[in-house]
């Protein structure tokens, strides 16, 4: 009984610390959201002053096989309300399942300069970085807009993401994004995490220290900033190449801007096991890319600490107090879902069913714990292995690490 009593006290202490820290996190996220709205108004006014006096840009998009609503995703980039731009699309080889679709979409839009780049097998551990480098060699613009294949954008996308790069000190811009579920509960859990959890963290980082990283769905970069870090090759060994390119560019003295544009990141239908592996792989990558920040993430969750408080309260004979803390943790996440998921990313699920984010919060904590329980993370066909320094290693058939090509 004594051991159980002290266990309950320890649990109550952890619950109190976690509840306090998650409440502080919510307050910081609300401040970050307010600042984002203010900066978004400033960006909108600057874009309005520019009118059509915008530079020619190159849009670079890598593809790897078919995926949900790929055609609609790509079409959205051909329907941009922007004076002049080109689209480059990359695949590894002529056998890629998406190649026929890419050709068909491009053929429907002869008015838009576009071409397909056959990259060959990736020579670097990170395949997208290799594809971006190959496309950049053929791109005609000094401003490169890189974007994942699984995103869909509004017609004013380029008008919103390009203007920050016209500021002399700004070398890169990136965007937050909403998750767009294509079916099923676990797809929805994955998507709402993007809309709320990911976005809240980005808004706080942008407010407290400025953007020093990128987000994969869109990274806009000027060639002078890219050249300063050694080109895309500098990111070729890293799992989170989007994150580190922002690190490297900021370290060279260039500014990194957070655009006001909100992208829709398409999330495919998935089982719990598929969702779990995907989430843990991302979390493990974050743990290795920024270990201190990832460790601190354990204190931003609310519902797990509310559950701990409820259990501790029951064990200590104060059940109503524990249930009250649990209730606050759920309210905390509902407020965050409404303020960030709807107020910033305009995710309709965050408004329609804000309580879902409370469920996602508990799941996110489990993923965070799991990220510390996994050793080497294997990616794609198993030849890609995530190391402790955030780099990806390629192993040959004999198990030896393959060096990045010069």
Helix axes 303-316, 319-336, angle to 10 degrees: 170
Partners of 178 in the β-ladder? 264
Q: How many CB atoms lie within 10 A of CB 156?
A: 13
Considering only CA atoms, which of 116, 115, 119 is closest in space to residue 127? 119
Q: Rounded to the nearest 5°, which phi and psi values hold at 273?
A: -60, -40
Could you tell me the sign of the dihedral formed by the alpha carbons of 390, 393, 399, 400, in that order? Answer: negative
Instruction: Give every CB contact of residue 308 below 8 A, 6+ residues apart in sequence.
Output: 11, 12, 14, 15, 18
| Beta strand ranges found along 274-403 (DSSP E) | 377-379, 384-386, 392-395, 401-402
Contact in structure between 159 and 81 (CB atoms under 8 Å): yes
Distance separating alpha carbons of residues 218 and 157, to the nearest angstrom: 10
> How sure is the predictor about 402, in pLDDT bands with cuts at 50, 70 and 90?
low
- List domains and CATH numbers for the chain: 54-281 (3.90.550.10)
Residue % of the chain over a pLDDT of 70 = 92
Is the pLDDT score of 351 beyond 80? yes
Question: What does the pLDDT look like over 150-171, one tens digit per residue?
Answer: 999 999 999 999 999 999 899 9
Give the mean pLDDT of the chain: 91
User: What tokens does 126 get?
Assistant: 């990170």
Q: How far is CA 313 from CA 13, 64, 287, in A?
A: 11, 51, 33
Distance separating alpha carbons of residues 385 and 390, to the nearest angstrom: 10
Contact in structure between 342 and 352 (CB atoms under 8 Å): no
Give the pLDDT score at 380: 52
Q: How many CB atoms lie within 10 A of CB 346?
A: 13
Report residue 150 CA to chain centroid gap: 12
Is the pLDDT score of 405 beyond 50? no
Question: What does the pLDDT look like over 87-117, one tens digit per residue?
Answer: 999 999 999 999 999 999 999 999 999 999 9
Question: What does the pLDDT look like over 17-46, one tens digit per residue?
Answer: 999 999 999 999 999 999 999 999 999 998
Is the pLDDT score of 284 beyond 70? yes
Q: How far is CA 238 from CA 51, 214, 225, in A?
A: 38, 13, 19
Q: Which residues of 99-111 are buried (b: 16+ CB within 10 A; e: fewer)?
A: bebbeebbeeeee
Is the pLDDT score of 392 beyond 80? no
Predicted TM-score of the model (pTM) = 0.90
């Amino acid at each position: 009984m004594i051991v159980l009593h002290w266990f309950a006290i320890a649990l109550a202490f952890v619950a109190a610390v976690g509840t306090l820290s998650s409440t502080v996190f919510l307050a910081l996220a609300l401040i970050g959201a307010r600042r984002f709205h203010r900066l978004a108004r400033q960006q909108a006014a600057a874009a309005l002053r520019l009118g059509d006096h915008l530079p020619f840009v190159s849009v670079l998009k890598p593809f790897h096989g078919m995926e949900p609503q790929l055609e609609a995703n790509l079409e959205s980039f051909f329907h941009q309300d922007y004076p002049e731009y080109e689209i480059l699309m990359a695949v590894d080889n002529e056998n890629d399942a998406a190649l026929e679709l890419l050709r068909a979409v491009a053929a429907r839009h002869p008015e838009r300069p576009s071409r397909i780049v056959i990259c060959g097998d990736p020579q670097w551990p990170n395949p997208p970085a290799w594809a971006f480098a190959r496309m950049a060699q053929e791109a005609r613009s000094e401003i490169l807009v890189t974007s994942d294949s699984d995103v869909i954008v509004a017609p004013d996308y380029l008008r919103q993401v390009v203007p920050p790069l016209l500021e002399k000190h700004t070398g890169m811009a990136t965007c937050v994004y909403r998750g767009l579920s294509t079916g099923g509960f676990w797809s929805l859990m994955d998507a709402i995490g993007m809309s709320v959890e990911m976005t809240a963290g980005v808004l706080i980082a942008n407010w407290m220290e400025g953007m020093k990283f990128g987000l994969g769905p869109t990274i806009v970069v000027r060639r002078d900033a890219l050249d300063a870090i050694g080109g895309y090759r500098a990111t070729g060994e890293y799992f989170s190449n989007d994150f580190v390119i922002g690190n490297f560019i900021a370290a060279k003295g260039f500014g990194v801007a957070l655009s006001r544009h909100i992208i829709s990141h398409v999330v495919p239908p998935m089982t719990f096991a598929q969702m779990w592996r995907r989430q843990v792989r991302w979390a493990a990558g974050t743990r290795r890319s920024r270990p201190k920040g990832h460790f601190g993430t354990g204190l931003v969750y609310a519902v797990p600490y509310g559950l701990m408080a409820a259990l501790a309260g029951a064990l200590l004979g104060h059940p109503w107090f524990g249930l009250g803390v649990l209730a606050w943790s759920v309210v905390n996440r509902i407020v965050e879902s409404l303020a960030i998921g709807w107020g910033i990313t305009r995710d309709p699920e965050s408004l329609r069913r804000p309580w879902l984010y409370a469920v996602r919060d508990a799941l996110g904590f489990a993923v965070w714990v799991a990220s510390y329980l996994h050793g080497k993370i294997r990616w794609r066909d198993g030849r890609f292995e995530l190391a402790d320094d955030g780099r990806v290693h390629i192993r040959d058939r004999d198990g030896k690490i393959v060096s990045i090509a010069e």
